Structure formats: C-alpha cells, structure tokens
Amino acid sequence: MEFKRVTEFLDKAVQDVPEKIGFVDEAGEMTYKQMQEASFKVARAILKTTGEDLNNLQIKEPEYIATLIEAGNDITACFHGILYAGDAYSCIDETMPNERIEKIFSTLKPVILLANRKNEEKARSLNFDGTVLIYEDIMEQDKNDFEIPKIVEEDVSYKVASVIFTSGSTGNPKGVLIGHNTIVYCSIANRDDVEVIFTDHVGNQSPLYYVMGVLNLYFSIAAEATCYFMPKWLFSQPAELVKYLVEKQISIIDWVASGVTVISRFSAWEGYEEELNKCLRTVTFAGDVASTKLINKMKKVIPDPKYRQGYGASEFFYTFLYTMTRDIPDDEMIPLGYPAEFVTAYVIKDDGTLAAPGEEGQLCLAGPGLALGYLNDEATTAEKFQDNPVKPGERILCTGDIVEENEYGEIIFKTRRDFMVKQMGHRVELGEIELAASSLDDTMQCACIFDKSKEKIIMVYVGKYEEKELRTMLKDKLPKHMIPREFVKLDVLPLNQNNKIDRKKLQEIYIK
C-alpha cells in the first residue's frame, strides 16, 4: 500500500501540486500548500500545549483531541494538525447540546478542545478538564520555531486516527476507534472505484463527524482533486442547491436520499438539466436506502452521470459500491452490489453457517479497513466484532443488516435486524413496507415504527397521497398483515445529525 498514515495524502498532494486549490468553503479557498502550512501551525500549538518530546512522536500513544468547528477548511487543517502531532481527533457536532457533548467527553477525555471564534463561547462553557485552543488565535500567533517531524511507520493498523461517536442504545454515545488503516484503505478503494481524478470537483455535503463526509474529504485529497464543502443552508433551498452544483461544476457527489427527495419534490432541476449532465460524472447514494423510483426518475432527467449505491458503516467506512448498469423496477431494492477489493463479505445465518444464494443472513465483514473497536466499551466491542464462525481466527464486524445474494450474485439489503417485528403472528420486515410505499411516489419519504405493546405498525410519511388512498394502493403490493394499522402524514420528517430519518424521535413521539 502506497500510504501508511492519513497525513501522507496531503504530503503527496503538496509534493505534486502545491499551488492547486484543494479546498473551498463559504469563507474562501486554500491550496494544498496553504492547508499543510495551517496544519503545521495547529500541530505546533498542540505539541506546545501538551509538552511532547518531538523525538518520541514515532512511538507515543495518541491522545484524544476534540474539535468544535463546522465542516470546512478550518476543521480540515485541525484534523491534519492533530494527526501530524501524533494524536487522534474526534469531530463534535457544534450544534449538539452541551449535555450530550459532556457525555461524549466523559468517555473521550480529550486533552484539548479545538474551536473557532464562532464556537468559542460554547467551547468555554463545557465542563471538561482539558485546554481550549482557538483556531484563529493559532493562525495569528504561530511562530515557525520548529519543524514538525514526519511520522512514518510500517504498521499503523493499531494507531488510532479518529474517534467517531454514534448513538448508543443505553443513551450514552459510543466511540468507534478508527485506525489510520480504516481511513487509508477505504479512501483509496473508494477513490479508485468511483474513479475520482485530478480535475474533479467533489461536492462534500456531509458533516465531518459522519463517515460519508470523512470519505469525501480524504478520497478527494488522495486524488489531488478539489473538495467543496457545501453550505448547510443549501439543503433547505433546493433551487439554490442545484445552482450551486452548476456554478461550482461539481462532478462527484454522494447523496443522502433525503436531499435528492427534496430536489425531486420541487422539481428544482428544471432548466438546469443540460448543465447538470455536463458537470456531474458520478452520483452516489449512501446513508439511508434510496428510493429506486426516485433514482430511476433522476436517471431519466439527468442521464449522463454514472449512478451508484454505496454502503459502509462507522465501523468499516467503505465496503460495497454498486454501479447501476441494468434497469431495476421501482418496487425492487437497489443492490449493495459487490464488496470492495480489500473486503471479504459473509452472509451468515443464525446457526453460524453461510447462507446459500437466495437465503437471508446477517452481513458480516472482514478486512484491513475494520475499526479497532469501541472506546472504553469492551462489551459492545465483543458483541459487534466477533470471531468468524466460518473461518475461525478471522475478526469480523457483525453489521446487524439482513441481506441475501440474488440471481446476479449481488448482495441485496433486506432489512435491519432491529427492523424485524411480529404482527398478527407473522414476521414482518419494516424495510419491505417502506420500499413498497416509496415505489408509489418518487417524492415519498417514510419510516415504519412498531408499537410492541399494541402490536401495531405505524407509517409516518411525507408524500402526495392521503391515508385512505395510500392504504388502498399498498393493498395491491403487500399482504394484509404487512399493511400499517396507522398512518401519520407530515410536512417534513425529522432528520438526525447525519441527515437520515430520525426513527428514535418518531418512536418517542408516536409510541406512548
């Protein structure tokens, strides 16, 4: 493998194209050389604060440093500065309530919190024992009084680069330990599979505490392309979002399904079809499972780009990519496709044996991009990362996703383990109901939740149909026991911090 540490992506870009614009946000643009210089300033500030011996960076164990800065050029410099200093970063959502941040900090125990001026007041109001450093102060006050030693190791598989916090079932956030290998392997594989090249403009619409945002950032640097951090406000103004894509000549973009649904609902691409066809090379859907009907409609309106479905997890960023080369009916699921070159995928039944084609089982993954586990959580690590029952001695991630292999040899997502419920004595997969509903209307967004005490499926949705009409249409697609007993129509569905439908919030509201 060409790269051993995450920072070597930036090092190579500076060596090859130092003056190329590599990063663009609302505040401005930065060349690769400027990004590295800003990163070195951050690294020097960290090393001075922690009092590290520069001669020991090669062997030191990373300390945890949190960031409280919105997606853009500044936080990118902070990430690299932390890694250049031999430490590991954890990106904190700046809009998150203090109470949740402090829960994260009780697990993470960061020695430093890097914030910008915009978030300084919030940073200083948090209850933690570390030091707050302000990015703008570092940029203004830094003196180039020592060089940052280059850290290169033959094996950094067990060196933590980042900690990504996800929701925990107990209410406490879980910290996924991400090694340099996870980011390096997954970014390179994603870059090559998506065919990201030097001239591309990568539209990064995801926050950097989410795996899509992380991959977009690093595969863009690895390709020596230009990463555009798309402003959040665009996603509430679909017409302006489409204008942005055209004006910035975005060629590579990963969509969360909810974002495209809004564009489709308002037909925001009307009048821009020719320009979008010219600039877009690849459109990848990831995050929530996208509506096949929606993708088929988009392919008709904007036919020239390659359309793909991506799949990964916080514990293994990038594992599947499916290029849509055949016609798929509106009421069928887009396949996950085939595993990336460095990934081994197993479909394992409950009895620990491999599922045959057409049989359902849990998707389990192995490979060098696997996360290291969960921070200070041995029980969850043991539950999710297990010994492979079909290949003893191999460590696998048990994803909780139920899949099967179809007649084309493609892996098809069926449902989540926690989406399977019992209603009227039948096992019901909530994802199958959602797929049937989304095939009726390309602007449909829906989520099915289950009231266990009443054995009642509730569909919460946004779309053009009223309950009676929707119920009647679903009867043509689903057996009686799968028809939701209650329908709730909304103007907009709640989304979580990753722009996915917030099912937990729906359960809190509609299940009493």
Residue range 364-403, pLDDT digits in tens = 999 999 999 999 999 999 999 999 999 999 999 999 999 9
Q: What is the 3-state secondary structure (H, E, C) of 452-493?
A: CCCCEEEEEEECCCCHHHHHHHHHCCCCHHHCCCEEEECCCC
For residues 493 and 506, give the distance between their C-alpha atoms in angstroms, rounded to a whole number: 9
Residue 168 pLDDT more than 60?
no
Residue 452 has a pLDDT of 84
Written as six digits, the tokens of 381 are 């690590």
Cβ-Cβ contacts under 8 Å for 137 (sequence gap 6 or more): none
Q: Residue range 216-232: average pLDDT?
A: 97
Cβ atoms 10, 51 nearer than 8 A: no
One DSSP character per residue, 58-126 reads TTPPPPEEEEE--SSHHHHHHHHHHHHTT-EEEE--TTS-HHHHHHHHHHH--SEEEE-GGGHHHHHHS
Q: Residue range 423-435: average pLDDT?
A: 77
What's this model's pTM, rounded to 2 decimal places?
0.85
C-alpha pair distances (Å), 247 with each of 204, 242, 253: 15, 9, 14
Q: Residue range 308-323: average pLDDT?
A: 91
For residues 216 and 9, give the distance between their C-alpha atoms in angstroms, rounded to a whole number: 13
Encode pLDDT of 7-44 as tens digits. 999 999 999 999 999 999 999 999 999 999 999 999 99
Classify 500 as helix, strand or coil. coil
For residues 301 and 237, give the distance between their C-alpha atoms in angstroms, rounded to a whole number: 20
Residue 235 pLDDT more than 70?
yes
Reference 456, options 431, 491, 490, 481; nearest CA is 481
Residue 171 pLDDT more than 70?
no
Question: What integer best gives the mean pLDDT of the chain?
Answer: 90
**Secondary element (H or E) of residue 253:** strand 252-256
444 compared with 245, residue with greater pLDDT: 245
Q: Residue range 103-128: average pLDDT?
A: 96
**Radius of gyration (C-alpha) of the chain in whole angstroms:** 23
- The answer to which of 14-23, 263-272, 277-286, 293-302 has the lowest mean pLDDT is 263-272
For residues 170 and 278, give the distance between their C-alpha atoms in angstroms, rounded to a whole number: 48
Encode pLDDT of 330-373 as tens digits. 888 889 989 999 999 999 999 999 999 999 999 999 999 999 99
Residue 424 pLDDT more than 70?
no
What is the pLDDT confidence band of residue 169, given thresholds at 50, 70 and 90? very low
